[in-house]
Chains A and B, each alone.
Chain A
Amino acid sequence: MNGREKEEYLREYEILKKKGKPFFPYAIMKDSVMMVIVVAVMIAMSVIMGAEQGPKADPTTTTYVPRPEWYFFYLFELLKVIKPPALVPLATIGIPTIAMVLLLLLPFYDRGPERIPWRRPIATITGILVIIAMAYLTFLGANAGSPTEIELETPAQFERGKQIVAETGCLACHSIGENGAHGGLGPDLTHIGSKIPPAAIKRSVEIGPGIMPSFRDLGEKDLNQVADYLSSLD
Chain B
Amino acid sequence: MKLSLPKRKSKQAEPAVADGDAEAAAAEPGPSRSEKRARKIAAGKHHSAEGGKDVAGWVDSRTNSTGIYTALLARHVPKGTNWFYTLGSATMFIFAMQAITGVFLAMYYTPSTTQAYASITHLTNDVFMGEFVRGMHKWGSSLMIILIFLHMGRTFFFGAYKYPRELNWVIGVVLLVLTTVMGLTGYLLPFDQRSLWATVVANNITASGPVVGPYLADFLRAGPEVGATTLSRFYALHMMLIPGLIAALIGAHLFLVVKLGTTAPPWVKATRPKGALGEETVPAGVPSPDDAEVPVGQAAASEPTPEETPVSEPAADPADAGGPDAGNAGEEPADPGAEPADDGEASA
Contact = CB atoms under 8 A, between A and B. Distances in A.
| A and B held together in a complex | yes
Interface of A: 1-4, 6-31, 33-35, 38-39, 41-43, 45-47, 49-51, 53-59, 64-72, 79, 88-89, 92-94, 100, 103-104, 106-108, 110-117, 120, 123-124, 127, 131, 169, 210-213
Contacts, number: 322
Contact of A211 (B3, B135, B208, B325): B208
Interface residues of B, number: 126
Given A16-B268, A89-B208, A53 B121 contact: yes
A8 B299 CA distance: 9
B291 A68 contact: no
Given A14-B300, A16-B80, A22-B75, 11 more contacts: A16-B268, A34-B93, A38-B94, A42-B139, A70-B142, A71-B146, A89-B210, A93-B208, A116-B159, A117-B158, A123-B159
A26 B264 contact: no
B296 to A, nearest CB: 6
Given A3-B289, A29-B3, A71 B169 contact: no
A39 B97 contact: yes
A140 B305 CA distance: 55
B69 to A, nearest CB: 9
Contacts of B308: 14, 18
Contacts of B177: 100
B269 A42 contact: no
Interface string B136-152: 11111111011100000
A3 to B, nearest CB: 3
A210 B307 CA distance: 66
B258 to A, nearest CB: 9
A46 B142 CA distance: 12
Contacts of B240: none
A65 B197 contact: yes
Given A93-B208, A211-B208, A20 B76 contact: yes
Contacts of A113: 162
Contact of B197 (A13, A66, A107, A123): A66
Contacts of A24: 13, 73-74
B149 to A, nearest CB: 9
Interface stretch (B47-55, B57-65, B83-91): B83-91
A11 B134 CA distance: 49
Contacts of A33: 86
Nearest to B342: A19
A18 B307 contact: yes
Given A26-B3, A69-B198, A57 B191 contact: yes
A200 B329 CA distance: 77
B288 A2 contact: yes
Contact of B159 (A14, A45, A114): A114
A203 to B, nearest CB: 18
B78 A92 contact: no
A64 B293 CA distance: 57
Given A2-B292, A19-B79, A38-B94, A127 B157 contact: yes
A79 B90 CA distance: 32
Most buried by A among B113, B170, B193, B296: B193
A38 B77 contact: no
A10 B227 contact: no
Contacts of A30: 1, 83, 85-86
A33 B120 CA distance: 33
B170 A21 contact: no
